[in-house]
Structure 1
Amino acid sequence: MMQSRRFDPLLRRAQEKEDAVARDLAERQRTLDTQESRLEELRKYAEEYAQSQMAATSPAQLANRRAFLDRLDSAVKQQAQTVDRSRASVGIERDRLLLAGRDKKVLEQLAASYRVQEAQVVERRIQREMDDVGARRSRLAATAAAAEEAGETS
C-alpha cells in the first residue's frame, strides 16, 4: 500500500487553506491601504482647514470654526485607530499565512519521505527478483553442464 498517497488529500487541503489565508491577507491589505488613504486625506484636509485664514466676523463664527476643527481632529484620531486595527489584522493574517505554509511544507516533506521509502522498497524487490533470476540461470546452467558431462561419460 502506498503510504504517500494518503497524504494527497491532506496536501490538497493544506494548499486550499494556504490559498484561502492568502486571499484573506490580500483583502485585509486592501482594506488597510484604503484606511490609510482615508487617514491621509483627513489629515491633509484638517491641516488645510486649520491653516486657512478665514475672517471670523463674530464670536459665533469663531466657536463654529473651533467646533469643526475639534470634530476634524476627532475624526482623524478615530481613523488612526481604524488604521491601527487594520494593521494588526494584516499582521495576524500574515502570521496565519506563515503557519499555513509551514504546515503544508511539513506534510510535503513527510509525503516525500514516504515516497523515498516506497521507492527503496520497490528497488530492493526488483533487485531480489533480478538476483533470483540470476540464481535460477546459474542453477540451470550448472544443471545443463552436469547433464552434458553425464552424457559425455556414458
Structure 2
Amino acid sequence: MMQSRRIDPLLRRAQETEDAVARELAERQQALSAHESRLEELRGYMEEYANSQMAATSPAQLANRRAFLDRLDSALQQQLQNVDRSRANVDIQRDRLLLASRDKQVLEQLAASYRVQEHQVIERRQQREMDDLGARRSRLAMLAAQEEDGNA
C-alpha cells in the first residue's frame, strides 16, 4: 500500500482538530468581545453616575450614593478581571490553533513528499518497461535481420 494513502486518515484528523480549535477560538473571541462591551457599559454608567449633580439632602442619601458607587466600582473591577481572563483564554486558544495548524502542515508536507517519491517510483518502473520493450524490439529486429541474411 502506498505510504501517502496511509497518511490521509491522519491528515483528515489533523484537519478536524484544526477546525475544532478554530471554532473554539472564535467562541472565546466572542466571549472576550462580550466582556469588553460589558466593561465599557459599566465604565460609561459609572462615569455618568459619578458626574451627575444629584443634590444629596441628607447624610443617608450621601451614604447611599457612596455605597452605590462602591458597588459599581466593585462590579467594574470584577469585569476587568473577566476581560483579562477572557483575553488570556483567547491567547491560549490562538496558540493551540497555531500548533494544530503546524501539525497539519507537517503531515501535508510528509504526504506530498511521499507522493513525489511514489510518482518517481512509477516513472522509473515505466521507463524500465519502455527500455525492456525497446530492447526486445531491437533483439527481434536483429534476429529478423540475421534471418534474412541467412536466407539470402
TM class by shorter chain equals: over 0.9
1:23 aligns with 2:23: yes
Question: % of aligned pairs identical?
Answer: 79
- The residue number in structure 2 matching 1:132 is 132
- In structure 2, runs of 5+ residues without a counterpart are none
**Match for 1:93: what amino acid?**
Q
Distance in 2 between the 1:28 and 1:3 partners? 38
Q: How many residues align?
A: 152
Distance in 1 between the 2:63 and 2:121 partners? 87
What CA deviation, in whole Å up to 9, does each residue of 1:43-80 have, x standing for no partner?
10001000001110100100010010000001000000
Distance in 1 between the 2:104 and 2:135 partners? 46
TM-score (ref. length: structure 2) = 0.99
Distance in 2 between the 1:112 and 1:76 partners? 53
Distance in 2 between the 1:41 and 1:3 partners? 57
**Match for 1:134: what amino acid?**
G
Distance in 2 between the 1:67 and 1:116 partners? 73
TM-score (ref. length: structure 1) = 0.98
Taking only aligned residues, the RMSD between alpha carbons, in angstroms, comes to 0.4
- The residue number in structure 1 matching 2:94 is 94
Distance in 2 between the 1:3 and 1:34 partners? 47
Shift of 1:12: 0.3
- The residue number in structure 1 matching 2:11 is 11
Structure 1 moving runs of 4+ over 6 Å: none
Distance in 2 between the 1:7 and 1:141 partners? 47
Shift of 1:8: 0.6
